[in-house]
Amino acid sequence: MHLSGFLLALLSAASLISAAPVKNRASDIDQELPDGLPYPSPSELALVEQHAHGTLPNTSPPPVVSNKGITNLRLIAFNELFEVAFFNELVTNITENVEGYRFSDPDDKNLVVASLEAILAQEELHAIRANNALSHFHVNPIEPCQYFFPVKDFDSALTLASKFTDVVLGTLQDTIERFALGHDYDLAREIAAIIANKGEQQGWFRMQQGKIPSELPFTTTGDLNFAFTAVQRFVYPGSCPNINEIPLRTFETLEILTSLGPKSQNITFSFQDWTNETSKLWMTYINQQNLPIVEHLDIVSHSGNTIVATALFPYDDHELNGLTISAVTRKEGPFGDANDVAKWTLAGPGLIIIN
Ligand SMILES: *[C@@H]1O[C@H](CO)[C@@H](O)[C@H](O)[C@H]1NC(C)=O
Ligand SMILES: *[C@@H]1O[C@H](CO)[C@@H](O)[C@H](O)[C@H]1NC(C)=O
Ligand SMILES: *[C@@H]1O[C@H](CO)[C@@H](O)[C@H](O)[C@H]1NC(C)=O
């Protein structure tokens, strides 16, 4: 992709929005997805399939789809394109021996590169499949954005990969339920196949961090809107050509400021609130397949629209291992599920992983 003057203007304008986590070094924005994505040629696709150790499904999507189903496919494409950009940059950093990405043992390096190249190609196929399905339903495919990643070495990159993979593992549960609600039963099975693939990836990411591979008996669930917001933290504002075609909500940013361990503790976090309804806010946690947990939120400081607050993270009472999605909600609950939490969310998701 050639950076047009227009794009450069857009990006430098974006960098003026101080609330957004934006860098504007040219090296960060000169991005191109690998293998001709999002629209690979037949020969490029054949190469991706070789690297992925497998093929795109050769079955057609069903003739019709619900509106909910279209939103699912758009969100999946939006997320997978981001993952492709991430893993492509990670493989490049390692193969080019960028500082922070060097391995002393060549065998280690070979295995890591082989693993990541397969993951990259597998993510490429997920993205292509979702966009092909959109085209099949006569809907615009989702175009890639320009991305940046707040990591600077192999360990921080893998920690981030673990985090967004956990979010996606929960989000894909939500897509299956939404397909079911929209009677798109022909699309549900493939999502289950993708969840399994990402679960395998996650086991390996976890091992690289010295953790046991399997995180939870029932992985933490999610909501499409949380994933939509989370991915946007890695895109340059204004760089996504058709993000406006994805009818999902973007919440205010929630930043967890405490580094957490496996114990109950009060945590500090910050978020934006443009409504000034702070007396009516709560901290809500989603973990595993359990009912969301709601805690009182105490405001520590309020300057402009930025609020710093504390709330209890009740690890001991609920065995809050693995991913916890936290959200500042406008309602005390009780919440029936993650979708219910998303409906009442002001800021989130704050992502916490314990063990
Ligand atoms: C690749 O390395 C550059 C330079 O250190 C860094 O800015 C970028 O975030 C890294 N990307 C990934 C995905 O590790
Ligand atoms: C959290 O803060 C509250 C209020 O200050 C305090 O009563 C409670 O003991 C604290 N809980 C923990 C686990 O530190
Ligand atoms: C909210 O309150 C802050 C601090 O008191 C103030 O600066 C801001 O203008 C208020 N915003 C709205 C939308 O009322």
* CATH value at residue 28: 1.20.1260.10
CB 169 within 8 A of CB 199: yes
DSSP state of 182: T
Q: Are residues 191 and 333 in the same domain?
A: no
User: Tokens 């091992």 map to which residue?
Assistant: 207
| Three-class secondary structure of residue 233 per DSSP | coil
- Distance between CA 167 and CA 185 in Å, rounded? 23
Q: Which ligand is nearest to the CA of 272?
A: 3
Our answer on whether the CB atom of 312 is closer than 6 Å to any ligand 2 atom is yes
Whichever domain contains 261, its CATH number is 2.60.40.10
**Do 32 and 180 share a domain, yes or no?**
yes
Same domain assignment for residues 234 and 313: no
Do both 60 and 146 map to the same domain?
Answer: yes
Gap between the Cα atoms of 12 and 22, Å rounded: 10
- Tokens representing 114 are 């082989």
Residues 203 and 267 in one domain: no
Last residue of a domain, one of 195, 216, 245: 245
Domain stops at, among 245, 277, 303: 245
Mutate to test the pocket of ligand 2, among 265, 266, 269 (most ligand atoms within 8 A of CB): 266
Q: Indicate which atom in ligand 1 lies nearest the CA of residue 153.
A: 14
Atom number in ligand 3 closest to CA 303: 4
Task: For residues 237 and 261, state if they share a domain.
Answer: no
Q: Which residue's CA is the closest to the ligand 2 atom numbered 8? A: 266
Report yes or no: 339 and 247 within 8 Å, Cβ to Cβ: no
pLDDT value for 31: 77
Contact 149, 80 (CB under 8 A): no
CA 71 from centre of chain: 16
Q: What is the dihedral of CA 201, 207, 209, 214, to 10 degrees?
A: 70
Question: Do 222 and 261 fall within a single domain?
Answer: no
Q: Which domain holds residue 224?
A: 3-245
Report the pLDDT value the prediction gives residue 2, as an integer from 0 to 100.
40
Q: Give yes or no: residues 207 and 289 share one domain.
A: no
Per-residue confidence (pLDDT) for residue 30, from 0 to 100: 59
194 & 271 share domain: no
The total of structural domains in the chain comes to 2
Is residue 136 located within the same domain as residue 239?
A: yes
Task: Encode pLDDT of 283-321 as tens digits.
Answer: 999 999 999 999 999 999 999 899 999 999 999 999 999
| Residue 242 to residue 58: CA distance in whole angstroms | 27
Instruction: Among 245, 263, 293, identify where a domain stops.
Output: 245
Same domain, residue pair 214 and 263: no
State the DSSP code for 42: H
Alpha helix (H) residue ranges in 182-314: 185-208, 224-232
Ligand 2, pocket-test mutation among 298, 312, 318, most atoms within 8 A of CB: 312
What span, in angstroms and rounded, lies between the C-alpha atoms of 179 and 100?
A: 42
What's the confidence (pLDDT) of residue 29? 53
Give distance in angstroms: CA of 89 to centre of ligand 1.
Answer: 7
**Distance in Å, CA 278 to ligand 3 centroid:** 11
Claim to verify: residue 65 and residue 179 sit in the same structural domain: yes
Which regions in the chain score pLDDT beneath 70? 1-30, 277-279
CA of 324 to the centre of ligand 1 (A): 26
Ligand 1 centroid vs 36 CA: distance in angstroms?
21
Is residue 85 classed exposed, middle or buried when 0-12, 13-18 and 19+ CB atoms within 10 A define those classes? buried
